[in-house]
Structure 1
């Protein structure tokens, strides 16, 4: 049974659905949830923006503030549902790991039984340009992963 459930969130609809699935799992196991959110380095965000056509205007500090708010809001939502959760923000340094690497490392260090992750379900050119944390995580993971797809629009 999954007792240590790590949920990687980014404030998107798919990550909110991942939280919902984690709540179902924790209800079955009476386990623990850890919410993590990874802040990419500003340099990495600019590099990704060059390929996607989106260049972020925020500073590293604003990325971290937004991530802190995402974690706080998710934790508050869980508390309203009677579920206690730990939170952790992970900040990547320029030129270091990808988000998937950081999520996996956190899952291993925390001894997670499962990683729950929302996915946008992008295909084709959008997936090629924007990448897929979920796909990368699936390729490298040593921990079971539950992917939760965004609802069809």
Structure 2
């Protein structure tokens, strides 16, 4: 079914939930699982970006390590989340992207979100986990 799965998570309890579901799916499909966390700040000084990454990295790596996901399969990137997620999926020849979505209604639903942008730009299947 799926051979390579990208799971984009936030550093939160919701991120844990999304990763757990992506992990279960990867186990069912015997697929390789990559975990990514995107930091949206790109116009900040590089030393501040480094600090943001250093603050997030231990938690993201711990989430992956708790599921025996190799640290070489974990990335933290800067930029527009949907672009970084889609680029990673292309570079890894992923056939599925898994990410969380919050239920939005009204004006927020029209404006869009990372999940919506990934769903519209990805070259592979996208699974949205409602959190």
Give the TM-score of the pair, scaled to structure 2.
0.82
CA contact (8 A) 1:6 1:112 kept: yes
The alpha carbon displacement at 1:62 in A equals 2.8
The alpha carbon displacement at 1:134 in A equals 0.3
Q: How many residues align?
A: 127
Q: Determine the C-alpha separation between the residues in 2 that align with 1:60 and 1:90.
A: 10
The alpha carbon displacement at 1:35 in A equals 0.3
Task: Give the equivalent residue in structure 2 for 1:33.
Answer: 33
What is the SS of the residue equivalent to 1:33?
strand
Q: Determine the C-alpha separation between the residues in 2 that align with 1:149 and 1:13.
A: 13
Q: Output the aligned Cα RMSD.
A: 2.3
Task: Give the equivalent residue in structure 2 for 1:114.
Answer: 96
CA contact (8 A) 1:9 1:37 kept: yes
CA contact (8 A) 1:32 1:84 kept: no
Task: Give the equivalent residue in structure 2 for 1:99.
Answer: 81
> Where do 1:1-153 residues align within 5 Å?
1-41=1-41, 43=43, 59-79=48-68, 84=70, 86-92=73-79, 98-124=80-106, 132-150=113-131
CA distance 1:77–1:128, change in 2 (3 Å): farther
CA contact (8 A) 1:41 1:91 kept: yes
CA contact (8 A) 1:10 1:70 kept: no
**Stretches of structure 2 lacking an aligned partner (at least 5 in a row):** none
Q: Determine the C-alpha separation between the residues in 2 that align with 1:70 and 1:133.
A: 21
CA contact (8 A) 2:42 2:78 kept: no
Task: Give the equivalent residue in structure 2 for 1:54.
Answer: none
Give the TM-score of the pair, scaled to structure 1.
0.72
What is the SS of the residue equivalent to 1:16?
helix
